[in-house]
A and B are shown apart, each in its own frame.
Chain A
Amino acid sequence: MPSFEESVICRAPPLEVWKLLHDPARVPEWYSGVAHATTTPDGAILYLGDREEDAYPVRIAPESERSRVLIRCLITDDLYTWSLEPHPDGCLVRVRVDVAAEPVDERRDGVLASLPKLAAAAERSGVGG
């Protein structure tokens, strides 16, 4: 299975990034191409794009290791493994994507567009209120 890794340094504590990764309502704030997200009755999170066909149910996969959040797309079976590390400037966010079906480049482009937005959203939360 092809895979790639990307990372970004965020000027917010890991807790703020973690909250963004776990909160379906805030996915549109940072995930490129997602206009709306909602929790389905059976517990999956549905990412909805601008077009009707852009609907991707995902699950936060069981993970026994610390400091990692696994998000699997239930349609493509792509696995996003997010890991957070404290950094002198705030938090180092890494993501490894195991691509099951689609061209890798498309996924990478999506991730590269999302990472800065994730960092910015976390920074906003950190000073929110």
Chain B
Amino acid sequence: MNRNPGDDARHGASAERHSSVKVVLPNVTIAMTMRNMLRAYLFGSLTIEIDGRTMPEIAGLRPRSVLAWLLSNPGTHARAHVAALFWPDVLDISARASLRNALWGIRRALDTVGGAAYLESDRESVGIADGLAREVDTEEFVRLAERDDTASLREALMLAHAPLLADLADDWVLDAREEFRERAGAAAARLAELCEQDGDLRGAVSWTRRAIAHVPVRESSYRALMQRLAKLDERGEALAAFERCRAMLDAEFGTVPSESTRVLADRLRSGQGSGEGRRVAARPAEPGRQGALPGQAASRVRRSRQRPLVGRDSELTTLSRAWEGARRGNGGVVLISGAAGLGKSRLTTELIDTVSGQGPRCAVGTAFELDGAPPYAPWGDVLHQLVADVPAPSRDASWPSDLARLCRSVEWRWGRPAARSSADPEQERRWLFASVAEALAWCSGDRPLLLVLEDIHLADTASIALIASLGRRLTELPVLLVATRRPASAPAKLVIAIDTLRRQDALVTDIHLGRLSATELDTVVWSCAPELGEDARDRAVEVAEGNPLLARRAALAASDGADPSDELRDWIRAPLARLDGPARLLVDAVALLGRPMDTGEAAALVGSQQLAEALERAGHEELLEIEARRIRFVHALVRQACGAEIEPSRRAWLHGRIAEMLEERPGRPVAEIARHLLNAGDWERAQAYLITAAEKARSLGAFDEAAGLYSEAASLDAGSRTIRAELWLALADVHAWRGRKDEHDTAFAHACTVLEEVDDSAALAGAYALRGRCLRTTLCHPGEALRAYERALHIIDTEHLDAPELRAIVVAGLGWIEVASGDLERAEALLAEAEVVPEAGTDLGLAAEVCLARAAALLRRGRPRGSERESEDAAGLARRAGRQDLACTALVHAAGACAAQGQFERVLELADRVRRSRPASGMADEALAARAYALARTGRCAEAWEAALAYVRSVASTGDASQEARAEFDAASVALDTGRYGEAATRFASALAEPSGQFSRALARVRLAEALVRDGLLGAAHRELEQVPFEPAGQTQLPETLVPRLELVEGLIAAARGASDRALHCLASAEAAWRRMLGVPSAGEPGTVTFVDLARPPVGGQVEPGVELGRVLAERAVLLSDVGRADDARAAAEEAILLADRLGFDGYRQRVNALRSPVVTTE
């Protein structure tokens, strides 16, 4: 293996460590102190030496990254700042606990070579000790570059021999790597200037070329190169540099060189050199063969592939009609379904061509044909195009910052950096989805929008969920989303998403492309090979079997003299063989990239000057085409065939080249880089990129994709055991977010096994704490959560771990579990213990959580007033901690406490406060739900129904079927309570149709039965009741309240069937149950007890036995009156009215009043 000068520098330094104080290397002189000297090499892989002894590798990627960051950022730093930087997606205290663990690992590694003193830390701060001697190559680079003399700049550039921290792929590392690449480019450019001043023009040219190699997209470097070459009288070379500049600018930015560069080129052409000659008018360069622009080549490529659209007139008419609807503001989704080669893409291209005269804005995104593609890839593609074409929205709008997390062009083009991620990836997903909806509204504000998403059967589940979430919004916008798919390969998620779109009336049409007739195929064959004889044409038509793509390829093969009955792969061998180096490289690279390649990427791979010709040749062979600066295969089948022709060794090499290219591209698609590094066999670096990609996916709420990426990283035979343990734990966390308990258990078990093997008690305790949180929150297994937390606490205590933050987290977690379903005394003791941990005192987020837990405990104790106050306090603390999500949760909790006190006006007030805080948050939906409930409860039926519908609409934008089902359940409850029985039945049934719905299914069956019986559908109601035992029902769903509710419905059915005795028996049983819950065994003492499901406040989670008793009494009064028991009827009616008065509930008052009046009159 070749060693570069930087390697020499390291090995030289190591070899000389015992004998001298200065090491002189070829072209590099580095001062060294032999005693108490830390030397850090950040260029290349991170290497640390203490007095010449190499520090062993730190276990874990994150600790290594922390050390590199501390070395790159001299001075002391607040622990909270460093923790938030490296663990942004968790609670502050949890991040601090992780930082403590990482610092412990760093100190241990430094200590093995006697360098522990270099890590300086106390309770609040951390940094590399200032007073001890150290040399960090990046600091040395900066120092040398600032000296601004030839020798120093040369030395600086020798140091920057390799990419910064090549073995890490954290975001900060990638940013720093880009920064040092820029710095190296600037140093080379400055060195070139100094060489020129010294009269060393050859040297100046050489360093200018180096500057371009570091930063290939800076026009001024090309201009300097042209000038210096001209001074050397090398005009041909200078003009070649101009052509490279022009090709680069066209490929990268779609622009032409600036006027000053063009003027210089004109002077060179006219033989005036770079001297003081006469200025000439700028004019565009001649488009010669050598200098043809990709765009110009594209027009030739497009001409060569022009082909008529055959046999798709009716489909095009349908599409055009959908577009007309969208133009009028009634957008939606159109699916084009069909097998490969039937012309789905061709049809969308025709639509774009047809409507382009009407001035729409168009954008095309393609799902990657690549395993483990980044989440939202096709959407990122589309949004990048839109953002580039649309002015920035007002600074007042917050959504661009959310959108920037998916599409970095938002930062570059609109100057809006990405918002910091919160601790709740679910919420991040909602914000992201909402931001995409807002972006589409913004981009369609001045003209209609036509979006094309190709091959969505290949799309990641997050992209598919996003499509589903947009459905309803699209129907209100001038936006048509056309998506192509192969039905045979459609994943289950896509089928569900299509169903969702259909339910939302957002699916405008689903066009199924069939096979073409022989006559139509004959037209296809003739259009591309008119020279073929009739027999050859017939043969081409016959082998195509109705597929226009195959007909075209068969015709081209026949035209080449090949047998049309060959396979597609045979047909493309001849055209591939005709391609020269750059064109073949381009075709192979596009085949392996798995998505359209933008021209900038292609230029970086094959050279900007070679690109136009390569593209022209590949286009001439009908392999590649270019559209809107995106190079792609004419068809996916052709891509597959070309990909299959690449030899394994060349394939690995190409993947490595593509990875290198992508690493230097703006935006750095980390998931793609990981994929290509994997295919290139570079597993160590692939693992680092997979981890970064997984973290990004998780932070965007793309859990399926994150799980896939973590799994893959964990399964690689790379990285230390500690890294693998970190990966298994991260995977366990993601599985918890996905609600996959079994998979969480498996991943956690793997992590534990590894951590026990490496005997890392601190990490093991942290692992159990993480498991406790997962089981307590997302997975909702309080019993197992309790055991996990207890195990964490046991390890902390028996191993005497110095882990105060972790202890506080564990103790608070235990407190929460006790609050939810255990011993309230113990809960309060635990919460108090968590609060007194000094390291936890500064964490307002934890303080807010503890406060909220205490509020929940008070509610459980039946003290809603105190609970409301604690909830308000928790909201205040959460706001101060910057935890808007937690603040909203606390306010919703306060609303629940108010509802429990019967203060429904206050519920409405709190709900409005939540809604005003951040419209896209999940808690804002909860606030809408609370509003609908409170309005229904207070008899404001029309407003309640309007609020319920707003709630359903808002949740529909999440694309989350389980949440949508819960919203349907809540809306159905409002419908039932406001007398919309048919609507209620439909919505309960819709909620029950979703198996993952987050609501009590048993209660939904009971309430559906009630809606049906009140609508007169007795048989259907009875059948629903029969299903109740087969639905899950647990303690948190207040199962004891289900029985009397069920008995009320049984009573209604029996009464409607004329079985009065049975009906009265059921109602009496229900009445007795509610009375028991109220603690009042007899009539006349109505109470105000309220049961609250802590997991689901306040809608659907609140049961008011007094109200329920009133409902039963009202029904009983009616029935008694019907059977002639007037006195009993009157007594029941009187008590029902008394309850209604006391509880402020009007739901049955009118009915009972009407009933009571004649009874009273009779008396």
Contact = CB atoms under 8 A, between A and B. Distances in A.
Interface in A95-111: none
B327 to A, nearest CB: 47
A17 B1076 contact: no
A15 B1026 contact: yes
Contacts of B1072: 25
Given A23-B1043, A128-B1065, A84 B1030 contact: yes
Interface stretch (B495-503, B685-693, B1034-1042): B1034-1042
B1077 interface: yes
Nearest to B1065: A129
B752 interface: no
A114 to B, nearest CB: 18
B1077 A39 contact: yes
A124 B780 CA distance: 37
A46 interface: no
B1033 A63 contact: yes
A60 B1040 CA distance: 9
Contacts of B1066: 129
A32 B176 CA distance: 72
B244 interface: no
B1040 A61 contact: no
B371 interface: no
Interface in A20-75: 22-25, 39, 41-43, 45, 59-70, 72
Contact of A59 (B821, B1061, B1073): B821
B1032 A68 contact: yes
B1032 A65 contact: yes
Max chain A C-beta neighbours (<10 A), residue from B821, B824, B1061: B821
Contact of A66 (B861, B1032, B1076): B1032
Contact of B1026 (A13, A42, A69): A13
Contacts of A72: 783
B892 interface: no
Contacts of A61: 783, 1034-1035
B1030 A66 contact: yes
A4 to B, nearest CB: 21
A129 B1031 CA distance: 26
A36 to B, nearest CB: 12
A23 B1026 contact: no
Interface in B1027-1074: 1028-1036, 1038-1040, 1042-1043, 1046-1047, 1054, 1059, 1061-1066, 1072-1073
Contacts of B1091: 43
A17 B1035 contact: no
Contact of A19 (B1035, B1043, B1054): B1043
Contacts of A14: 1026, 1029-1030
Contacts of B1026: 13-15
Contacts of B1077: 39
A69 to B, nearest CB: 7
A119 B238 CA distance: 98
A39 B862 CA distance: 14
Interface in B1076-1098: 1076-1077, 1091
Given A25-B1076, A62-B780, A66-B1030, A39 B1065 contact: no
Max chain A C-beta neighbours (<10 A), residue from B1026, B1040, B1046, B1065: B1040
Interface string A67-87: 111101000000000001000
B948 to A, nearest CB: 27
B1029 A18 contact: yes
A2 B877 CA distance: 48
B1029 A63 contact: no
B346 interface: no
A45 B1040 CA distance: 9
B1064 A59 contact: no
Nearest to A67: B1030
B780 A24 contact: no
B17 interface: no
Contacts of A25: 1072-1073, 1076
Contact of A63 (B782, B1032, B1043, B1065): B1032
Contacts of B1032: 63-66, 68
A14 B1005 CA distance: 15
Interface residues of B, number: 40
B1062 A22 contact: no
A64 to B, nearest CB: 5
A62 B1035 contact: yes
Given A18-B1028, A25-B1076, A43 B1035 contact: yes
B1025 interface: yes
A23 to B, nearest CB: 5
Contacts of A15: 1025-1026, 1028-1029, 1046
Contacts of B780: 62
Contacts of B1039: 22, 60
B300 interface: no
Contacts of A23: 1040, 1043, 1073
Nearest to A82: B1029
B781 interface: yes
Contacts of B1064: 129
B1029 A17 contact: yes
Contacts of B1062: 128-129
B981 to A, nearest CB: 22
B824 A42 contact: yes
B992 to A, nearest CB: 12
Contacts of A68: 1032
Contacts of A59: 821, 1035
Nearest to B861: A41
A17 to B, nearest CB: 7
A56 to B, nearest CB: 16
B949 to A, nearest CB: 30
A62 B1034 contact: yes
A18 to B, nearest CB: 4
Nearest to A64: B1032
A69 B1042 CA distance: 14
A41 to B, nearest CB: 6
B862 A84 contact: no
Interface in B110-141: none
A124 to B, nearest CB: 11
B51 to A, nearest CB: 58
A63 B1034 contact: yes
B953 interface: no
A38 to B, nearest CB: 8
B821 A22 contact: no
Contacts of B1043: 19, 22-23
Contacts of B1061: 129
A62 B1028 contact: no
A128 to B, nearest CB: 5
B860 interface: yes
Contact of A69 (B1025, B1033, B1065, B1076): B1033
Nearest to A65: B1032
Contacts of B1046: 15, 19
A41 B862 contact: yes
A25 B1047 CA distance: 14
A67 B861 contact: no
A60 B1034 contact: yes
23 contacts: A14-B1026, A15-B1025, A19-B1047, A22-B1033, A22-B1043, A25-B1072, A39-B1076, A39-B1077, A41-B860, A42-B860, A43-B1035, A59-B821, A60-B1033, A61-B1034, A62-B780, A64-B1032, A66-B1030, A66-B1031, A66-B1032, A84-B1029, A128-B1062, A128-B1065, A129-B1065
Can you list the 3 inter-chain pairs with the closest CB atoms, starting with the nearest? A129-B1065, A62-B1034, A18-B1029
Interface of B: 780-783, 821, 824, 860-862, 1025-1026, 1028-1036, 1038-1040, 1042-1043, 1046-1047, 1054, 1059, 1061-1066, 1072-1073, 1076-1077, 1091
Given A14-B1029, A19-B1047, A39-B1076, 10 more contacts: A22-B1043, A41-B860, A42-B824, A60-B1035, A62-B781, A63-B1033, A128-B1062, A129-B1062, A129-B1063, A129-B1066
